[in-house]
Amino acid sequence: MTDHRLDPTLLALEQNAVVAASAGTGKTHLITNVYLGFALGLGPDGHPVPAERIAATTFSRAAAREIRERLELRLAVLAGEAPAESGVGLDAALSELAARRGLSERELRTRAKRALAELPRTAIDTLHGLAARLLRTHALALDLPPGFTILEEQAAFEDVEATLDDVLTRAIEAGGERERAALALIDAAHGLENARAGVRSLLALLDEEGLDADTLSPPEHTRDARTIAETLRGTALAIRDHGAEHPGYAGALDVLGALATEPPNAERLEAGLLGIYKPRQKPDKLPCAAAPE
């Protein structure tokens, strides 16, 4: 007799369950067992669950295909449409449940044939595939075209890049604040390729969190950057006030000039900081010749 408290199939049929196990420990077998339990009416109420009411999701198409193939084989064995030696119909746990329900072999075969015929209508797919199915079912209510298609990853990648290039081009051509913002983005990312990658990452994060771009608020580092800029400006002013004899005088002027533009001139700012810092470095020790004897 199977211990009802320990058998995972029995537990999963009677209550919500989370199965955590490493590879090769039988998770796929358990999933097919649970499906068969519901489809054959071996659950708590004893009534077969229609295929349309069952969904099995995985992270890969290969895993979804394997689950469907195993179910097809096991149901075919139970329905008498495949030889018993070709696969397991009911394992020990399901056989015990069938005996408890008082199901005859003939009734099981009838239910298995019906479940096998309904199997193509069962949602056994990846998480993305199941989501797409739900969207198509309720497309009109969600204000989506029923015939929408899901972009393949490469096509989506190319669309994002083309859209970003178009947005940046229009911003630069518009001039003014939009041009400055576009150039600042490219400059901050150290080039167009990095800017594209950064925007793609941001869009992926928004998609994952289910957020709209309009909900974004200025990042905290913007405020931090202003604080740093004010500190640099104060330091440069103090050096400038010491006069031209100060070793960092020229660098301080470059820093002040760089911070006078919006956005700051990154190249001039870097040169100015180096001009302030380098004169303060201690010179390397000079090699000493051996003292004459």
Instruction: For residue range 36-76, list pLDDT tens digits in order.
Output: 988 998 887 888 989 888 888 887 788 888 999 999 999 99
The pLDDT of residue 5: 42
Please give the model's pTM, rounded to 2 decimal places: 0.49
For residues 205 and 229, membership in a common domain is answered with: no
DSSP 102-167: T--HHHHHHHHHHHHHHGGGSEEEEHHHHHHHHHHHTTTTTT--TT--PPPHHHHHHHHHHHHHHH
For the beta carbon of residue 184, count every other beta carbon within 10 angstroms: 14
Q: What is the pLDDT of residue 8?
A: 66
pLDDT of residue 10: 67
Question: How wide is the angle at C-alpha 9 spanned by C-alphas 36 and 37, nearest 5°?
Answer: 20
Give residue-wise pLDDT tens across range 87-122: 778 888 888 888 888 888 899 999 999 999 999 988
CA distances from 192 to 195, 206, 247 (A): 5, 21, 37
Q: Is the same domain home to 255 and 208?
A: no
Between 200 and 269, residue with greater pLDDT: 269
Bridge partner list, 123: 55
Which residue range forms the structural domain that includes residue 255? 220-280
Amino acid identity of residue 85, one-letter, is E
Q: Are residues 157 and 254 in the same domain?
A: no
Domain count, the chain: 3
- In degrees, rounded to 5, the angle at the alpha carbon of residue 155 between the alpha carbons of residues 154 and 156 is 90
Across the chain, mean pLDDT equals 81
The pLDDT of residue 279 is: 62
Distance of CA 280 to the CA centre of its chain: 48
In-domain check, residue 145: no
Determine the pLDDT at residue 115.
92
pLDDT digits (tens, 9 = 90+) for 217-267: 656 677 788 888 899 999 999 999 999 888 889 999 999 999 998 778 888
Both 77 and 191 in one domain: the answer is: no
> For residue 50, is it within any domain?
yes
